[in-house]
Structure 1
């Protein structure tokens, strides 16, 4: 069975053409490691993993040139290993791996076929399936498959193409976008940094509530303020981003990347209310094909990822606790600038900054980071 690729998959394929090996490569993954308080039944786990793949078509899907190819049979088997690590290679033709080593269990999904929600939903279903295998029971089928989502997404694109094109024309094409800093050159970089303490995060959340806004909007406003002195003249700061689109009940727990690549055209020197309106509009019309939006290849990427770690899972009588989770491994194929901000489990707000050293050099990004903090805490 074949289907056209979803908006996310089409975008990822385009990214790979620009940076060969980035999205099609085996390190473009979503990963989680669990600690088990007792040994698992290996045979039952192997059976449950096979059944998990049978239950969810996306775990048997291979991405080709513009198509999703759904294999009839599972393409992966449980691996019993000496050690479970956070990152492992996942081939594009077999998008899932499950690895067991003593009291550690690792699930690894190719990002072409998954997003963070998929990672946790797959682990939850694996735990339920394992329990059902032990008890000799059969689980009801999933409420939806990713094919249902991607088909509905394509229909939505056709239905809303005209108003979406009009909106993007007004807010992106007709806007006076700020050019990036002049190319000055520098070394590629990638670093992580704590941006706010847990106490400072609480203060920012209070600020957000006072303005009846969201954390994403507040952080984005701070980032625009931090970048503004280094940009050229213009009224709008443009970012690349991703929006989650689990906007129907059926999509809440479906396995598969229910995310849409989009642009964020944010007013420069704007109050939080104006930034909020811009984010709402960009999200509403995000399902407009990215290929039809003229994009400067130097457009920075920004993403805020809320803390989504679940408290744990139960495999029969065995309790499993999440001890590590991570997205794609940094392979050095950097964007011009990418900023990912997320809260850690201890409440600290962390940032991951990477770039190829052109336009936005590491010293310049360090200055943006300092202004970002000042905006939020002044």
Structure 2
């Protein structure tokens, strides 16, 4: 840090108060304790909270990265004073105010809670963590110009695909740009590998770039690959289905010359309307009571050991597979880097899953989650399991046709005490899934803030994720014989300590464990996946012969 004059005493006292609140400690007049230099502190979470506190108290925007570089309250004071001075210089230069060149959305347009979290995480990680690479295989005589015109209409109708996210007074603000023609870059098949790799490693600059990028690979024999990298702040899985279904329609219109004269006169439903409605609902007393009640339930599950599962490190206990344990402690500032291992479950296992669900009158999701709960409980030596699963978050009818990121992480609380038979295990899991869905309208971000007695040093409540990805719909592009979409995940990243992804592949099921490589190595992840597969097949055998859970 550069040398600075000593800040005023009253100013340092106010900063000390903020620091003490973040640490949940009494004020430290000597300023010997500082949250971003404390051992064991989850520094990224503290930095995000500190950024909000400084914005609310002093009206300054300080990047999270700059906060992470500070090591004392005096360092912090210098940053804040510099930011205040810079803000005043900007106001004088602008004649007392500033206006960004935008279109459609105003400075008062809110972001949704999930967009807030994604933006902060993106700024913190500075990586491809939230990139969504997609690959659309097109077979047949493709009219490239018509596809470009169809993409132009698509972006014109969906303003979220041409929205930037710029920090204003320390908080992100969406600014929609005017529609422009999409220039579709076409590359030869010899560059396909490079284009695919670039999409999976694409890092968006959200303040300067729209959250989507297209490339077209011209393969041989009349085949093409449309490579589209999206940022998660603008789309989720349902959004992708909506977009590529509409793209086929717009492509047909472009071929016939019957598309809309002005796409802006036929806009799609606006995501900003959802964000505003969500913020308004969160402010109601009913929603606040529901958040507090659910947070108390989640907090009790955490106190019962629900989070001390595979995510912990240390020596193996009785019955543990020591290979599957975390080999390293969670770092104070995670890098969110990772890798994955996968396997294909044979058709007989898929049949067993369906039969088991029908026999016990539960959903197939309950059958798939139950062995994961068993695995986590065994390794954590606990009867209470807490894991997360994504829910669509589209609880309003108008959201069903809206492009945007609605997805919400729902904590599942599975209590296994006394569940000695397969029927009891599946019933408990089904109950937890239904309970989670009943609360899917409670934003995960707000739930975490409402947790009782939560310290900034605590890890996030959800460190293990379960996700099932069904088959995608059929997309129709006139004149083409096939349009098949593959949605991948960004390369070299991991949002959670562990994630179990199950994907339908015709009559087979693909299982993949994504792991944080700061906590696990490949052998541990492979052991976890093997244990899961063993427990899953064991459910079918135990149910058939009437024995207990294995």
TM over 0.5: yes
- 2:242 is aligned with 1:121: yes
Query: With structure 2 as the length reference, what TM-score do the two structures score?
Result: 0.61
Please list, as runs of the form range in 1=range in 2, the aligned pairs for 1:2-21 lying within 5 A after superposition: 2=106, 3-16=109-122, 19-21=125-127
Where structure 2 has 5 or more consecutive residues not aligned to the other structure, the ranges are: 1-104, 315-325, 329-336, 420-424, 542-550
Where structure 1 has 5 or more consecutive residues not aligned to the other structure, the ranges are: none
Tell me, yes or no, if the aligned pair for 1:335 and 1:356 is still in contact at 8 Å.
no
- CA drift of 1:53 comes to 0.5
Please list, as runs of the form range in 1=range in 2, the aligned pairs for 1:185-334 lying within 5 A after superposition: 186=327, 190-194=339-343, 196-233=345-382, 235-269=383-417, 270=419, 271-286=425-440, 287-288=442-443, 289-292=446-449, 293=451, 294=454, 296-297=459-460, 299-314=462-477, 316-322=478-484, 325-333=486-494
Compared CA separation, residues 97 and 16, structure 1 to 2 (3 A): closer
TM superposition outliers: structure 1 runs of 4+ over 6 Å? none
- 2:269 is aligned with 1:144: yes
Cα-to-partner distance string for 1:261-289 (whole Å, 9 max, x where unaligned): 23222223553222222222222223242
Compared CA separation, residues 282 and 11, structure 1 to 2 (3 A): farther
Report the number of matched residues: 371
- CA drift of 1:225 comes to 0.8
Compared CA separation, residues 19 and 263, structure 1 to 2 (3 A): farther
Secondary structure at the aligned position of 2:515 is classed as strand
Compared CA separation, residues 366 and 318, structure 1 to 2 (3 A): closer
Cα-to-partner distance string for 1:86-131 (whole Å, 9 max, x where unaligned): 4512633211223223321233322221112212211111121121
Secondary structure at the aligned position of 1:278 is classed as helix
Tell me, yes or no, if the aligned pair for 1:239 and 1:263 is still in contact at 8 Å.
yes
Query: With structure 1 as the length reference, what TM-score do the two structures score?
Result: 0.86
- CA drift of 1:80 comes to 1.5
Compared CA separation, residues 198 and 273, structure 1 to 2 (3 A): same
Q: Residues of 2 paired with 1:68 and 1:169: CA distance?
A: 29
Secondary structure at the aligned position of 2:408 is classed as strand
Tell me, yes or no, if the aligned pair for 1:4 and 1:66 is still in contact at 8 Å.
no
Identify the match of residue 148 of structure 2 among 35, 46, 58: 46
Please list, as runs of the form range in 1=range in 2, the aligned pairs for 1:16-27 lying within 5 A after superposition: 16=122, 19-23=125-129
Secondary structure at the aligned position of 1:11 is classed as helix
- 2:288 is aligned with 1:156: no
Give the aligned partner of residue 349 of structure 1.
510
- 2:501 is aligned with 1:373: no
Give the aligned partner of residue 35 of structure 1.
138
Compared CA separation, residues 19 and 177, structure 1 to 2 (3 A): farther
Which stretch of the first structure deviates more once superposed, 196-205 or 90-99?
Answer: 90-99
Tell me, yes or no, if the aligned pair for 1:90 and 1:96 is still in contact at 8 Å.
no
Tell me, yes or no, if the aligned pair for 1:149 and 1:251 is still in contact at 8 Å.
yes
Greater length-normalized contact order (CA 8 Å, ≥ 6 residues apart): 1
Cα-to-partner distance string for 1:125-158 (whole Å, 9 max, x where unaligned): 1121121122232358355222222223333333
Tell me, yes or no, if the aligned pair for 2:127 and 2:203 is still in contact at 8 Å.
no
Q: Residues of 2 paired with 1:119 and 1:211: CA distance?
A: 34
Compared CA separation, residues 169 and 191, structure 1 to 2 (3 A): closer
Compared CA separation, residues 227 and 373, structure 1 to 2 (3 A): same
Tell me, yes or no, if the aligned pair for 1:77 and 1:97 is still in contact at 8 Å.
no
Give the aligned partner of residue 188 of structure 2.
82
Q: Residues of 1 paired with 2:280 and 2:133: CA distance?
A: 28
Tell me, yes or no, if the aligned pair for 2:501 and 2:512 is still in contact at 8 Å.
yes
Q: Residues of 2 paired with 1:359 and 1:66: CA distance?
A: 33
Please list, as runs of the form range in 1=range in 2, the aligned pairs for 1:93-108 lying within 5 A after superposition: 93-102=209-218, 103-104=223-224, 105-108=226-229
Compared CA separation, residues 74 and 354, structure 1 to 2 (3 A): farther
Q: Residues of 1 paired with 2:281 and 2:465: CA distance?
A: 25
Tell me, yes or no, if the aligned pair for 1:213 and 1:276 is still in contact at 8 Å.
yes
Secondary structure at the aligned position of 1:329 is classed as coil
- CA drift of 1:302 comes to 1.6
Tell me, yes or no, if the aligned pair for 1:78 and 1:97 is still in contact at 8 Å.
no
- 2:238 is aligned with 1:110: no
- CA drift of 1:255 comes to 1.3
Secondary structure at the aligned position of 1:35 is classed as strand
Secondary structure at the aligned position of 2:136 is classed as strand
Tell me, yes or no, if the aligned pair for 2:513 and 2:525 is still in contact at 8 Å.
no
Cα-to-partner distance string for 1:277-322 (whole Å, 9 max, x where unaligned): 22222222232424414563374332323323223321x3223321
